[in-house]
Structures are given as C-alpha cells and as structure tokens.
C-alpha cells in the first residue's frame, strides 16, 4: 500500500492529505486492497494468519475530499455496487491466535486457523468447510470520514484510560483491551518527515468503530445502501476499505468475514447542516434492496452466564451472544463440522445476531440465526 502511486493510509487523523477530490453528485469507483495489505495467501496453511503483523491494518483507500463539505454537514454516500476484482476472486477467513489478536471465542479456539473461499459470482464456497455455499452480502467493513482533531483526542484519551483501568472481569489477559496509537508501520498517505512523525504518534488505530463509523463491520452496509455520515473536517475526507464478501453479525472470529480486495462504486452528496438538523451522533443508514433473501433459519439462544464458571453476569449481551454462538457451534459439530469450521462459518456466513431481550434481569438473551439453506444437507433436528 505504501508503494502505490497514490498511497492510502492505515490510521485515522484529520491531517492525512486527501488523495483526490470529488463533487457532490459525482459517481466514482474506488479500489481497495484486503485489510492486511496482502499478508494472507490463498493456500492451506494458517501460518500467515498466525504471524500476521497487525500494526499494518487496516489499509484504507482515501481520504477523498468532497468539495463543499463542512463540519456539521451530513455526507450522503450511496454504495452503488461492490465486488471482487476480476482475476482475484477469492477471500479468506481467519481465526487469530490468542497471542496475536484473538477473537470472540479465543478461550475456546486459541490457535490460528484459516479458510479460503472461492468467489463464484454472487456465491462462495470453501475447500476448508465442505458442505456449505451461500450468497455474499458484500460490504465495506470499514468506511467513514476523518475525525476532527478534538474528536481524535477524545478517542485516544478514553481508550488509554480503558487500558489503564482494565476491562470487565471476564476479560482474559490477552489479547489487549485496545489498540493505542502506534507509529510502527503507519502509512499516512503522502505525509513525510516531521509531519509524518507527529501525525503517526497521534493517529488513532483503525480497529474499533467509533462516532464517525469506521470499522463498524456492519454486514448490512451492502450493495445499494445509503449511508449518512457526520462530517468533522473540511472536505469530509472519506476513506474506506476492509471489503468483506460476506460476514455474519459480530464477525466473531475477528478476521471473521470473507476478506478480499475489491472495488466500490460510490455516489456522494451533502445535506448541509444535517448533523444538528437530525441530532446525528453516529452514522445512520438505509440498507439496500438486494441482500440475499432466506426464509428458513435455525436460531440459537444464549444467556449471560459464563460457560466455564457458571457465574451470572448482569444483562451482559456480550456474554449472551458468546453463549448463543457456542451453542450453535456445539450443534453444528453434531453434523460433522469441526469446532473451528463452525466458528469460521458463524463468522463469515450471513447469520443474524440479535439482542432479543436486554431488560429481564439479570439475563440478557441474545440469539444467532443461521439460514438453513446454506447447507447441502438438512440441519434441522429430526
């Protein structure tokens, strides 16, 4: 990425220079590398996933300067189309090693694993997870406008405080609580010299979603959706990347979507002064009309009780969703999948993860819904 003629970036900072400018009303195409900048290969060894250098991620295309955009405006972005690059129709899903990134179920699946997916038009299948085939709900895992300097400082402050004060009691020691600014392997567009040093030291990592959107990993930001972004800096400075051919709600194995390079066709427009008009805090969006349509789901429930200790947590949707996913994985293992395969599948297939009940003290109830049509066999209880 750093060797491109028009380099992208892999950190958030208002002072990363825009690479192009567009006008409201314009339609244009962006191409993106996969989020690891090509570290993961189309082969059968998970060693590249195990050894991935996370200081490199996420490599983003942009920033795009939108003429006329001012702080307080809403940037309206239509994802007109999105897809793989011709000749590069494959993707990967990984389980990160507990020591290097981890994931939602890292205490259950601490070792690196990988599935390679063949992309065949709207469908995908994997030689590493036989017996499933599904249509992708392709989307950018990461998209958003540059933060203002003030907002960036808020991010850095609150995330540093979290690292200093510690997380919830169920949090294992590794992986870390947050990814704080790290100049190592920072790519900051055309910045060089002392300006590069300054920005690299301040710039936020791209891992978490934040007020501006960013790495939301929302599978429904797919083909045809319209997203309303708050603008914080002049020109909006829109960036994106981390294209997913498909993903389940939660993207649970962390490198859990079907990660790929690809293109996005965009249309942009502005709503002047829209942030105040609509009391906007985070982005808002309208999903598109061509999400894959399934009619039969098998749904697993989870409650906020720890699976190892039996400890009761208070309305903890994180724990509940973990239990729901573990229940689904245990079930799928009865149909011939390994635990890792089931974990990768829940991460990457178009599964729905819902907060079903969040008020019935002390248990939150979360559900994970798997479309049964993605399997080549009947997976209902009989």
Residues 219-258 that bind its own copies (CB under 8 A): 219-220, 223-224, 228, 249-254, 256
Size of the site for its own copies (CB under 8 A): 120
Asked if 250 contacts 325 with a C-beta cutoff of 8 angstroms, the reply is yes
Name 279's Cβ contacts closer than 8 Å, sequence gap at least 6. none
Q: Which residue, 77, 109, 86, 85, is CA-closest to 96?
A: 109
Question: Is there binding between residue 294 and its own copies (CB under 8 A)?
Answer: yes
What is the nearest approach in angstroms of its own copies to the Cβ of residue 8?
A: 19
Rounded to whole angstroms, how far apart are CA atoms 369 and 359? 21
What is the nearest approach in angstroms of its own copies to the Cβ of residue 19?
A: 21
Question: Is there binding between residue 271 and its own copies (CB under 8 A)?
Answer: yes
Rounded to whole angstroms, how far apart are CA atoms 17 and 294? 43
- Pick 127 or 158: Cβ nearer its own copies: 158
- Out of 26, 48, 197, 211, name the contact with its own copies by CB under 8 A: 211
Pick the piece of the chain touching its own copies (CB under 8 A) from 37-45, 62-70, 184-192, 350-358.
350-358
Question: Is there binding between residue 273 and its own copies (CB under 8 A)?
Answer: no
Question: Is there binding between residue 299 and its own copies (CB under 8 A)?
Answer: yes
- Out of 123, 132, 182, 185, name the contact with its own copies by CB under 8 A: 123
Pull the structure tokens for residue 225: 């959706």
- Out of 21, 43, 55, 120, name the contact with its own copies by CB under 8 A: 120
Neighbours of 184 (CB within 10 A): 8
Rounded to whole angstroms, how far apart are CA atoms 372 and 375? 6
The upper half-sphere exposure of residue 27, i.e. CA atoms within 13 Å in the direction of its Cβ, equals 4
Rounded to whole angstroms, how far apart are CA atoms 13 and 261? 23
Question: Is there binding between residue 267 and its own copies (CB under 8 A)?
Answer: yes
Residues 174-193, interacting with its own copies (CB under 8 A): 175-179
What is the nearest approach in angstroms of its own copies to the Cβ of residue 375?
A: 12
Residues 308-327, interacting with its own copies (CB under 8 A): 310-318, 321, 323-324, 327
Neighbours of 38 (CB within 10 A): 13
Pick the piece of the chain touching its own copies (CB under 8 A) from 11-19, 45-53, 184-192, 292-300.
292-300
Name 338's Cβ contacts closer than 8 Å, sequence gap at least 6. none
Whole-number Cα distances in Å, 133 to 103, 236, 348, 375: 24, 39, 11, 7
- Pick 198 or 299: Cβ nearer its own copies: 299
What is the nearest approach in angstroms of its own copies to the Cβ of residue 336?
A: 13
Question: Is there binding between residue 144 and its own copies (CB under 8 A)?
Answer: no
- Pick 20 or 162: Cβ nearer its own copies: 162
Torsion of CA 121, 126, 132, 137, to 10 degrees: -40
- Pick 196 or 337: Cβ nearer its own copies: 337
Question: Is there binding between residue 85 and its own copies (CB under 8 A)?
Answer: no
Question: Is there binding between residue 358 and its own copies (CB under 8 A)?
Answer: yes
Question: Is there binding between residue 70 and its own copies (CB under 8 A)?
Answer: no
Asked if 142 contacts 60 with a C-beta cutoff of 8 angstroms, the reply is yes
- Out of 41, 122, 185, 272, name the contact with its own copies by CB under 8 A: 122
What is the nearest approach in angstroms of its own copies to the Cβ of residue 84?
A: 10
Name 183's Cβ contacts closer than 8 Å, sequence gap at least 6. 197, 200, 201
Would you give the distance in Å from CA 345 to the centre of its chain? 16
Question: Is there binding between residue 87 and its own copies (CB under 8 A)?
Answer: no
Pull the structure tokens for residue 192: 């060089």
Pick the piece of the chain touching its own copies (CB under 8 A) from 13-21, 44-52, 173-181, 183-191.
173-181
């Amino acid at each position: 990425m750093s060797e491109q003629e028009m380099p992208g970036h892999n950190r958030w900072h208002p002072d990363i220079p825009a690479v192009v400018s567009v006008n409201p009303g314009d339609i244009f195409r962006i191409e993106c590398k996969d989020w690891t900048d090509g570290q993961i290969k189309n082969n059968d060894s998970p060693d590249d996933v195990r050894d991935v250098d996370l200081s490199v991620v996420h490599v983003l295309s942009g920033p795009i300067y939108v003429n006329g955009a001012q702080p307080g405006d809403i940037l309206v972005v239509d994802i007109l189309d999105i897809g793989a690059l011709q000749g590069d129709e494959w993707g990967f899903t990984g389980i990160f090693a507990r020591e290097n990134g981890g994931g939602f179920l890292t205490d259950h699946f601490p070792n690196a694993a990988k599935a390679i997916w063949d992309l065949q038009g709207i469908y995908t299948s994997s030689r590493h997870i036989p017996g499933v085939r599904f249509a992708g709900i392709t989307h950018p895992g990461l998209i958003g406008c540059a933060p203002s300097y003030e907002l960036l400082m808020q991010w850095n402050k609150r995330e540093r405080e979290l690292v200093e004060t510690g997380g919830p009691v169920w949090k294992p020691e590794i992986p870390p609580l947050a990814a704080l600014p790290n100049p190592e392997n920072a790519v900051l567009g055309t910045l060089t010299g002392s300006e590069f040093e300054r920005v690299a030291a301040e710039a936020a990592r791209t891992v978490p979603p934040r007020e501006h959107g960013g790495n939301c990993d929302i599978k429904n930001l797919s083909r045809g959706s319209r997203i309303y972004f708050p603008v914080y800096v002049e020109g909006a400075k829109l960036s994106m990347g981390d294209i997913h051919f498909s993903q389940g709600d939660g993207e649970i194995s962390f490198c859990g979507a079907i990660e790929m390079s690809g293109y996005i066709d965009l249309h942009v427009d502005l709503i002047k002064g829209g942030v105040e008009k609509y009391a906007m805090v985070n982005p808002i969006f309208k999903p598109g009309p061509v999400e894959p349509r399934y009619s039969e789901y098998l749904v697993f429930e989870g409650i906020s009780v720890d699976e190892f200790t039996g400890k009761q947590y208070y309305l903890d949707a994180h724990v509940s969703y973990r239990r729901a996913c573990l229940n689904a994985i245990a079930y799928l293992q009865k149909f011939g999948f390994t635990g890792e395969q089931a974990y990768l599948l829940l991460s990457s297939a178009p599964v729905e993860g819902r907060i079903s009940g969040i008020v019935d003290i002390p248990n939150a109830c979360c559900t994970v819904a798997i479309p049964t049509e993605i399997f080549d066999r009947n997976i209902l209880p009989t």
